[in-house]
Structure 1
Amino acid sequence: MSAPTATESPLSQLYRQHHAWLLGWLRRRLGQPEPAADLAQDTFLRLLRPGVALPAELRAPRAYLSTIAHGLLVNHWQRQDLEAAYLQALAAQPPALHPSAEEQAQTLELLLAVQRMLDGLAERPRRAFLLARLDGLGYAEIATELGVSERMVKNYMAQAMLHCLRLRGDTSP
């Protein structure tokens, strides 16, 4: 590690000193160099976002960077899983019903946005919401699927709707 220059920003110094290490850390977890390089760059880009301040004295820079990178890694894996599930569902459809590549990309982005919205929701309300909205099941069918009462399904749906409204900023807790 070389000494920082007088005009070097803390972020530049952090990048210079730890980028190679972070790239190796991500490569070991992914087993692929290209997505690892993208995620390493995204990690440092996160530090450039408005409202994100690099701590004045960073005692454990690698722990700090790996925490940010781990979140990005989880998002990467979730995206891969969702994309694989979407492509599997698409493959089950007759080719004549396949949407265009542009429509597929838009659908995948929409699915990812829905997934992000539902991330903070408990498992059962999330499942109830998805069964109602994606599978078109009624409350009685959802109750049977989840092994709960219809009244509980109504509670789950209310929780899911409130969660979505809070994320949009339409209501306070």
Structure 2
Amino acid sequence: MSDIGSDAVHSIYTTHHAWLHGWLKRKLGCTFEAADLAHDTYVRLIASRRLPQPDESRAYLMQIAKGLVVDLYRRREVEAAFRASLALMPESMWPSAEQQAIVIETLTEIDAVLASLPPKVRETFLLSRFDGLTYSEIAIQLNVSVASVRKYMLRAALACFSSLAE
């Protein structure tokens, strides 16, 4: 990896953009989404302030793009779940479009945070918050101590709060 410079970014962009856009278009089936994610890939590349060696550029760009594709699919799942929950409510109780966008963004961030946690920490949080299990019930289900459940909940909550604070 080398430090970033505008000439180097321009070189990577002109050399690999068409290839990256084509790869994303095949992956997503939509030229517009592919263009958005290709753009976001280069934004992330620039934000990282590090450039790959020339022979590693495609692999590096693909690694970033794959992460963005995963993020896109996760966001779609969150949006679908949120829309399904809205459908259960009278339309008069729906939040405004702006509030919906904020909720979806927040849920997407929490989903990403939970996905980054170790499995037992994530499972503990989900069992507590969404299934309504007590710490004792979670401890039995996961075959851990209640003290471990407390520690897992604290870790999950801190991760969520720190993500939202950013």
Common topology (TM > 0.5): yes
Over the matched positions of the two proteins, sequence identity in percent amounts to 40
**Contact kept? 2:138, 2:149, Cα under 8 Å:** no
Structure 2 CA distance for partners of 1:41 and 1:126, relative to 1, 3 Å:
same
1:158 to 145, 151, 156: 151
CA offset digits 1:51-102 (Å, max 9, x no partner):
52113x3213211211111111111111111111111111122223222212
Rg (Cα) greater in structure? 1
**Contact kept? 1:128, 1:153, Cα under 8 Å:** no
- Aligned to 2:55, the other structure's residue is in SS state coil
* Alpha-carbon shift at residue 121 of structure 1 (Å): 1.3
- The equivalent of 1:75 in structure 2 is 71
CA RMSD in angstroms comes to 2.7
User: What are the residue-to-residue correspondences of 1:56-67 with 2, within 5 Å?
Assistant: 57-67=53-63
Where does structure 1 lack aligned partners over 5 or more consecutive residues?
A: 1-7
Query: Which structure has more helix as a fraction of its residues?
Result: 2
**Contact kept? 1:39, 1:69, Cα under 8 Å:** yes
User: What are the residue-to-residue correspondences of 1:1-173 with 2, within 5 Å?
Assistant: 9-49=7-47, 51-55=48-52, 57-140=53-136, 142=138, 147-148=141-142, 152=145, 154-165=147-158, 168=162
Give distance in 2, aligned partners of 1:24 and 1:136.
Answer: 46
* Alpha-carbon shift at residue 132 of structure 1 (Å): 2.2
Where does structure 2 lack aligned partners over 5 or more consecutive residues?
A: 1-5
Could you say which structure has the greater relative contact order, defined with CA pairs below 8 angstroms and 6 or more residues apart?
2
Q: Which moved more, 1:104-113 or 1:115-124?
A: 115-124
* Alpha-carbon shift at residue 116 of structure 1 (Å): 2.1
Give distance in 2, aligned partners of 1:37 and 1:153.
Answer: 49
